[in-house]
Amino acid sequence: MRAIIVAAGRGRRLGPETSEIPKCMVAVGGRPILHRQLDALALAGVSEVVIVRGYLGERIAPPTTGPAGKLAINFIENPRWAENNILASLFYAEEAMETGFVFSYSDIVFARDHARLAAESSADIGLVVDRRWEETYVGRLDHPLPEAELTAVSDDARGVPRVTQVGKGAVPAPQAIGEFTGLARFSSAGARALSAAWHEALAGGLDRPYGRAPALRVAYLTDALNAIIAGSSRIPETRISPLYIDGRWREIDTQEDLSRAHALVDAWDVPSGDAR
């Protein structure tokens, strides 16, 4: 099983923390974000990880011991990291997407069972969605609620839940079932749908508005997910399913996020099952 981590951006909102290392190498609870992710992915059955790198990419140092020590890790360069965003960055790794993959933002820390939930999903596209998302925003001043990738879900005729909208500003808070954490699973069918959405948009040029983004080059993954949900003659019909969690993850976007996360991360993998 393969995973793709998009780790090209600088993370300016972390201030001096990223002056000499990329965002994914910032330590949370004494360990780099990336190392925590790689251990979780390895324990979930991932054997190969593709990392799309950009800003100070040569300073990304995967662990050589622990669960992640045996992973095959390949780097793909995003030379335009300063002018593009997550979606465009991901598609530098398009050749690695074909057979399906686990996807992760590079600035999230999460309990190890979240990676297993994603890896074991049979959905075409499965998004890890936190139902306790509101707790994360209590006292969170530097990353306000409008920046949450809130997620709306409804049941189909058979009572099976499916994501109907996702992304920053896409879902009013009262209608949100949770927040997309940035961890996902794409089957081979899901990867084909994502690729079709990208190439349909790319035909109009990188500077044309796309979804909620002013231009395709700075679009988010969620813009493409919403295009898949909306459908078109060029995008195969694809179900996007929620994979529910209840807390035990954090996005590390600001110095405030970092300081609040240090005391939390190690408790998430305590075997009691009660840590949140």
In a domain? residue 64: yes
- Token pair 């690729």 in the structure block, residue: 195
Helix (H) or strand (E) holding 192, with range, is: helix 188-202
Burial class (CB in 10 A: 0-12, 13-18, 19+), 122: exposed
Pair 125, 184: CB distance under 8 Å:
yes
Q: What is the pLDDT along the chain (276 residues), one digit of tens a residue?
A: 999 999 999 999 999 999 999 999 999 999 999 999 999 999 999 999 999 999 999 999 999 999 999 999 999 999 999 999 999 999 999 999 999 999 999 999 999 999 999 999 999 999 999 999 999 999 999 988 999 999 999 998 788 999 999 999 999 999 999 999 999 999 999 999 999 999 999 999 999 999 999 999 999 999 999 999 999 989 999 999 999 999 999 999 999 999 999 999 989 986 544 333
How many Cβ atoms are within 10 Å of 73's Cβ, its own excluded?
16
In a domain? residue 6: yes
What CATH number does residue 233 fall under?
3.90.550.10
Distances (CA, A) of 62 to 65, 92, 214, 242: 9, 20, 34, 30
What's the pLDDT at 276?
Answer: 35
- Token pair 């939390």 in the structure block, residue: 264
Count of domains for the chain: 1
Distances (CA, A) of 198 to 76, 88, 195, 201, 216: 18, 9, 5, 5, 9
Q: Amino acid identity of 137?
A: Y
In a domain? residue 274: no
CA 68 and chain centroid, separation:
19
What's the pLDDT at 158?
Answer: 87
Tokens of 181: 């954490």
Pair 177, 112: CB distance under 8 Å:
no
Domain containing residue 181: 2-257
What's the pLDDT at 269?
Answer: 82
Pair 215, 207: CB distance under 8 Å:
yes
In a domain? residue 262: no
In a domain? residue 272: no
